[in-house]
Each structure stands twice: as C-alpha cells, then as structure tokens.
Amino acid sequence: MNAGSSVRAGASCGDEGDGKTTPNKPTATGVQAAGMRAVAARMVAFYFRAPVKAFFRGRIDYMGYARAINPHVQEAARWSWRATTPAVLVHAIRTEGWSFIPNQVLPPLMANTVIGAVLYTAYLHSLSELHLPSSYQTKRTYPPPPPTTTFTAGLVAGAIQSTIAAPFDALQVRFRTSDILDGKYKTMWHFASHKLPSIGLQGVFAGFSLSLVKDSLGAALFFGTFETVKSQAYYHFISRYYGSRTRDALLESKALYHDDLDGRPVIKPHYLIEPMFLLLAGLSAAVTSQLVQHPLTELQDVHYRRLEALDFQAHEESRPSRIMGRYYHAYQKTFHQCKRLTKLHGGWRRYLYRNFWMNTIRQMPSTSAGLIVFEIVRRKYAFDTEQVIISHEGAHILLN
C-alpha cells in the first residue's frame, strides 16, 4: 500500500446498536473547557503582571474595581508582588469584605465562562454537522476534517459567540469604576440590571458589526489553524518520518510487532511528538487569530468611545429610524477619525498593528494551555474505538 493510504482499522462508527454513534455531551465538554481555560489564564496572569485576556479577549475585566481601590496599583509604582492579581484580590477582600467576591468578581467571571462555553460548544456542534467522522465523538477523528471545514465551523461558532456576548460587550464598554466608587451602583449585579434596560436593544447591539467580523474571522482562523497543525501537520510528519523504507533500522528497532499479512512493522510514534504538535497548534492559532482581531480591536476602541454619547442622543429621539441612522453615521465618523490617526502613526499597517507582538506573546501561554485542556476534555468524553492504523509503504503507524 502506498504512502498516504487510508486507515487500516479505523475509528469504528458502527460499534453499537444500529451502527451509528451520536455525539457525547458536547455541551459538557464546552463548559468544562471554558472553566478550565479561565483558571489557566489567571495562573499565567500572575507572571505577566497584567491580566491575560480570556480565550480571545476577555469580555469583562473582573479585576477592574479591585485595582481601582488598591493603592499600590494606583500609585503606578515599580512592580512588586503587591500588584499581582492574588495580592490585589486579597486587598479588595480585606477592604470590602467577603461579599466582594459574589458582588464584584463573580458576575464578570460567570459572563466570561458562559461566552467561552458558547464558543466551544458551538464549534463542536458545527464541526459535527459539517464533518461526519467528527460527529461520532471518537478519541481520534480520522480522517481529520479539512481546513475549509474547521474554518467554516469556527466562523459559525464565532458568530454565535458574538451574538450571545453582545449584552456583555455593551456592559463592559459602558462600565466606569467611578460609578461604583461614588455609590451610583452598589454591585455589578446592580449595574447590569440598571444599564441594560436604559440603553435598550439598539444600545446592546451598537458596534455589533465590528464585533461580528472580529469574532467570526478570529474564531475561524483560530480553530482552523489549531486543527490543521494538530491533525494534518502531525499525521504528515509521522507519515514522512516512519513511513519510508529508507529507515529500515529505525523501523525494526521501534516495531511493536509485524503484520501477519504483509510482514511490515507496526510502529507507535514517540509519545512526545503529539503533545509537541498540540502545543505548536495552540501557539500558531494565537498568532493567526490575532492577525485579524488585533487591528479590529483598535478600530473598536475608537468606535466604542462614541457609544455613551449615542445612548444619550437615542433617548432624545422619538423615531427609531433616526436612532439607527445615528448609529450608522457613527461608523463613518469612526473611519474618518481612524484615518487621521493613521497619518500620525505613519500608515494603516503601523497604526492597526502597533503593539501586536507584545499583546500576542502575552496571550500565547494561556491560549495554548486552554486549547490543550479543550483537547483533553474533548477526548475524555469521547468513545473508545478500535485502534487507528495508517498503512504506508514502509510500515503501519499505530495512532492510538
């Protein structure tokens, strides 16, 4: 059999009942992966002195109020352990009491977890619909989904995530720490319950177009790159490394046994190769997604500064068509303002990609950790199937 041939004893899809296996708890997979992702991000944040962003970019900063009441942070002095996330959190609890956790920290944490769970779950469901082998929830999907399929599944998942996250985005943009410090709002729950009705549906979805494009394309590149490096690149590497007759000595020394039919050795790849590709996939996904998300975030930051003024104008308008017209013209004003900023920074590329590598490098460790957790949890809920063996000219490669 020539190199690149199909599975010899593939991931069986008909081991039970009528020969079909339904997806197994994709929602539980998404929720657990999102929760573990939040924990991993906080652990990495301790080393970077600054909050590491959530799966892509944290929707709501749960440490904003804690930093605002911390004198060590406000003094902007040189870094010390008192400025780390755990120390800032301890200071806030000592100052405000244990009620600080459920009142100020828990709401944004829950919001970020929900948004992450929606992204993971939507991606798993979309991939299952677009790629039949992925719907069987086996520990190893073979053949793996092509890049176009994972890109499309990520695109759909990002769009769903952006829609669900719109109210949280609206709250984050309009949140001011001074509102709580001055007693205007007592807790984050109070702020959310007051602000959402006041801005209305048009305020919730103000700036949604930019968020939709950023989240959709970012997730598409993110998952597409991750799956391509994790699967296609990994299979290609082990096929080239173990599947050639020119490595007879290596194949004989690494062979588990020889096939009874053709005498070819059956090789199991070194156990470190796949984790290395998994880590590389996470790093690559962080970079490629940032290529889209970083410049669009710069545009969003400019556009979001107009929203509070638009909220006030919307309350003064009685005709919905005029309200929507104001939000539409806000995009035009944002574009003109960005054009002026590009002249100050020396062009669009320099303006949109300023601080690109610093922000991307900060996200890499937590992003890779999150994707590794995602893959582990996904396999945890997968079905046990027959061993996957790829047959090549020089050997049979055992994947499980």
Lowest-confidence region among 164-168, 325-329, 345-349: 325-329
Percent of the chain at pLDDT exceeding 70: 70
The pLDDT of 101-128, averaged and rounded, is: 88
Looking at residue 240, its pLDDT comes to 81
For residue 396, give the 3-state DSSP assignment.
strand
pLDDT at 355 over 80: yes
Looking at residue 154, its pLDDT comes to 95
> Which letter does DSSP use for residue 138 in this model?
B
User: For the segment 197-231, what is each residue's pLDDT rounded down to a tens digit?
Assistant: 888 787 788 888 889 999 999 999 999 999 999 99
The pLDDT of 85-94, averaged and rounded, is: 86
Q: How far, in Å, CA of 136 to CA of 144, rounded?
A: 12
pLDDT at 6 over 50: no
Backbone angles phi, psi at 313, to 5 degrees: -65, -35
371 or 101: which leads in pLDDT: 101
**Angle subtended by helix axes 273-304 and 356-380, to nearest 10:** 130
Q: How far, in Å, CA of 257 to CA of 249, rounded?
A: 14
Helix then strand then coil, % of the chain, to nearest 5:
70, 5, 25
Edge to edge, the sheet with strand 389-391 lists: 255-258, 265-267, 396-398, 389-391
CB atoms within 10 A of CB 225: 23
User: For the segment 293-307, what is each residue's pLDDT rounded down to a tens digit?
Assistant: 999 989 988 888 877
CA 21 to chain centre: 28
Backbone angles phi, psi at 258, to 5 degrees: -110, 140
pTM of the model: 0.74
Report in angstroms the alpha-carbon separations of 230 from 146, 153, 280: 12, 16, 8
What six digits make up the tokens of 18? 């009528």
> Which letter does DSSP use for residue 51 in this model?
P
Backbone angles phi, psi at 46, to 5 degrees: -60, -35
CA 355 to chain centre: 20
Domain extent for 51: 26-398
pLDDT at 56 over 80: no
Residue 17 identity: G
In a domain, 262, yes or no: yes
Q: How far, in Å, CA of 192 to CA of 370, rounded?
A: 28
Q: Which pLDDT band holds residue 332 (cuts at 50, 70, 90)?
A: confident
In a domain, 5, yes or no: no
Asked if 140 and 388 count as a contact pair (C-beta separation under 8 A), the reply is yes
pLDDT at 252 over 80: no
User: For the segment 373-390, what is each residue's pLDDT rounded down to a tens digit?
Assistant: 777 777 777 666 666 777
In a domain, 226, yes or no: yes
Q: How far, in Å, CA of 381 to CA of 32, rounded?
A: 11
Q: Closest by alpha carbon to 391, among 146, 142, 136? A: 142
In a domain, 294, yes or no: yes
Contacts of 344 (CB under 8 A, 6+ apart): 351
* Angular region, 355: left φ>0, alpha ψ -120 to 50, beta rest: left
Give the total number of structural domains in the chain: 1
DSSP bridge partners of 398: 389
The pLDDT of 258-287, averaged and rounded, is: 80
Looking at residue 130, its pLDDT comes to 94
Q: Closest by alpha carbon to 174, among 295, 311, 298, 332? A: 311
pLDDT at 393 over 70: no
